[in-house]
Amino acid sequence: MKREMLEIYFVMGSNNCKKDPLLVLREALEAGITCFQFREKGEGALTGQAYEKFASDCQQLCAAYQVPFIINDDVNLALKLNADGIHVGQNDLAISTFREQAKGKIIGVSVHNVHDMREAIADGADYVGIGPIYTTQTKKDAQPPTGVTALKTIRKQFNTFPIVAIGGITEANANKVRSAGADGVALISAICHSTQIKTTVENLRRTV
Ligand SMILES: Cc1ncc(COP(=O)(O)OP(=O)(O)O)c(N)n1
Ligand SMILES: Cc1ncsc1CCOP(=O)(O)O
Ligand SMILES: [Mg+2]
């Protein structure tokens, strides 16, 4: 996995969007996102066949733009659809339980401190997501925001390991996160709620 993949990492589920989510994804891809995470969870999230169909539609769109398609939490779906990767958090399946079946796939793990980071690397993570950096309205069960302090501390000890920052990141603060050592920014609302997705992504690209 190349670190550049993490530069503009768009994370989305249908309940994050105010218009057709596939249209949102298409605009984001067209504008130059570098990675996409399918995160269909929470209130009003699709289930069953509609959930799988939506994942598969997102995957096809990503493939058309040659952008990696990562699935959040649902390892079984990632294996079934042969997604490019899987993202898991501290409360999800441990990497050791699916590493073998997921050979060749990109594995991302959420970390909050140096201890989590060591564990994630030992378990075989390809990249880590650190956050929430800033206050977020999107993830109700998120830990308290840390600002860029935790990110800086972790980056100092892990010089080259691929890190993406997440939580409350916008066009206005992306530069701070980048200077604190993140290889890229992961965003939900900054893109989903933008009325000018093209401009938003272009501004983020310039910053990151
Ligand atoms: C890139 C990235 N970083 C962190 C997360 C958060 O994962 P997790 O803590 O498992 O929380 P949920 O997203 O599953 O609610 C992420 N999804 N992506
Ligand atoms: C999934 C996730 N993990 C930590 S914060 C967060 C939500 C990020 O959403 P937003 O970019 O809208 O703050
Ligand atoms: Mg999770």
Instruction: Evaluate if pTM is beyond 0.80.
Output: yes
Contact assessment for residue 108 and residue 87, using Cβ atoms and an 8 Å cutoff: yes
Contact assessment for residue 85 and residue 127, using Cβ atoms and an 8 Å cutoff: no
Tell me the per-residue pLDDT of 12-66, one tens digit each, with 9 for 90 and over: 999 999 999 999 999 999 999 999 999 999 999 999 999 999 999 999 999 999 9
- In a mutational test of the pocket of ligand 2, which residue from 8, 11, 110 has the highest number of ligand atoms less than 8 Å from its CB? 11
Q: What is the ipTM of this complex?
A: 0.99
Ligand 2: centre distance to CA 136 (Å): 6
Task: Tell me the two tokens of residue 170.
Answer: 């916008």
Residue positions counted in the chain? 208
Tell me the per-residue pLDDT of 85-122, one tens digit each, with 9 for 90 and over: 999 998 899 999 999 999 999 999 999 999 999 999 99
Domain segments of the chain as ranges: 3-207
- DSSP E strands in 61-196: the ranges are 69-72, 85-88, 106-111, 127-130, 163-166, 184-187
Q: Which fold has domain 3-207?
A: TIM Barrel (3.20.20)
Ligand 1 pocket check for 87: Cβ under 6 Å: yes
